[in-house]
Amino acid sequence: MKLTGNTIFITGGGSGIGRGLAEALHRRGNKVIISGRRKQNLRETLDANPGMDSVVLDVNDPQQVKQTVDDLIRKYPSLNVVINNAGIMLADVAEGEINDELLVSTVSTNLLAPIRITSAFVDHLKKQPDATVAYVSSVVAFVPLAITAVYSATKAAIHSYAMSQRYKLRNSSVEVLEIAPPWVRTDLMNSREEERAMPLDDFIAQTMKALETATTEVLVEVAKPQRNNPGPKEHGFVNQFNDMFVAALEK
């Protein structure tokens, strides 16, 4: 993806990875519009980055999504990049009764919303000389983390959807990218101080580098073993990965 001269919409841009990407892209001279539900986060991000714009949006509200996308296209006719970053991650109990609210909100935020948002933008994007749709998935799309089974399933699903959409758009001006982060220090699962997670600044720097040449997936170095997992040995790898995780939690 070219990293300058774009008009970029990023969901969940008021915190964590979304804010990091928004700021890095803003510094490169792109016009960046962020969204989220928490006005305070949006305000703080805008104050720190003069020239950036924001819109309040709950990605789980289909009518609000449609209205907001229409408004954005009207206000920013050259909008050519959509980064679907908003997401939630909650611990669940695949071995027991799944909380229905968790199930619906996770599938809605991580799977239905990025599909809806992209779908509302796609005809506009096809009219741009070059355009990008990016989905922020996760390495757990490739190696499920059993303590967040629903979350992992939504990320595997968005990986699948991105591949289908990339294929369908292969003869258009729209490229479809998937950014699959490893564990990164953000508020997700209270990981901001987590030593085992990748520092956010390092993640953003490596991701920006990878974005320059990416045509399909955007992976930082430590994410590659997990991304390369699927295949005939996948089941052994899943057990090993989860055993390691459980052992670390029990320490």
Ligand X SMILES: NC(=O)c1ccc[n+]([C@@H]2O[C@H](COP(=O)([O-])OP(=O)(O)OC[C@H]3O[C@@H](n4cnc5c(N)ncnc54)[C@H](OP(=O)(O)O)[C@@H]3O)[C@@H](O)[C@H]2O)c1
The residues near 190 (Cβ < 8 Å, ≥ 6 apart) are none
Query: Is residue 211 helix, strand or coil?
Result: helix
Taking CB under 6 A as the criterion, which residues in 191-220 touch ligand X? 191, 197
Alpha-carbon distances, residue 182 vs 140, 142, 185 (angstroms): 8, 11, 10
Q: Which residue shows structure tokens 């990416």?
A: 214
**Least separation in angstroms between CB 87 and ligand X:** 2
Give the residue carrying structure tokens 């052994």: 236
Cβ 135 to ligand X shortest distance, Å: 9
Query: x/- binding map, residues 61-100, to ligand X, per CB under 6 A?
Result: ------------------------xxxxx-----------
For residue 171, give the amino acid letter: N
Minimum distance from residue 70 beta carbon to ligand X (Å): 17
Residue 102 · residue 147 · CB < 8 Å = no
Which of 8-16, 71-79, 123-131, 161-169 is the region at the interface with ligand X (rule: CB under 6 A)?
8-16
Binds ligand X (CB under 6 A): choice among 9, 10, 14, 143 = 14
- State which amino acid sits at residue 104: V
Residue 49 · residue 22 · CB < 8 Å: yes
Of the candidate residues 43, 67, 75, 187, the single one contacting ligand X (CB under 6 A): 187
Least distance (Å) from ligand X to the CB of residue 235?
A: 22
Position among 10, 59, 65, 145 found at the interface with ligand X (CB under 6 A): 59
> Applying CB under 6 A, which part among 16-24, 67-75, 124-132, 205-213 lies near ligand X?
16-24
Helix/strand/coil (H, E, C) string of 55-121?
EECCCCCHHHHHHHHHHHHHHCCCCCEEEECCCCCCCCCCCCCCCHHHHHHHHHHHHHHHHHHHHHH
Annotated active-site residue 151? The verdict is yes
Catalytic residues: 151
Give the residues lining the site for ligand X (CB under 6 A): 11-12, 14-18, 36-38, 41, 57-60, 85-89, 109, 136, 138, 181, 183-184, 186-188, 191, 197
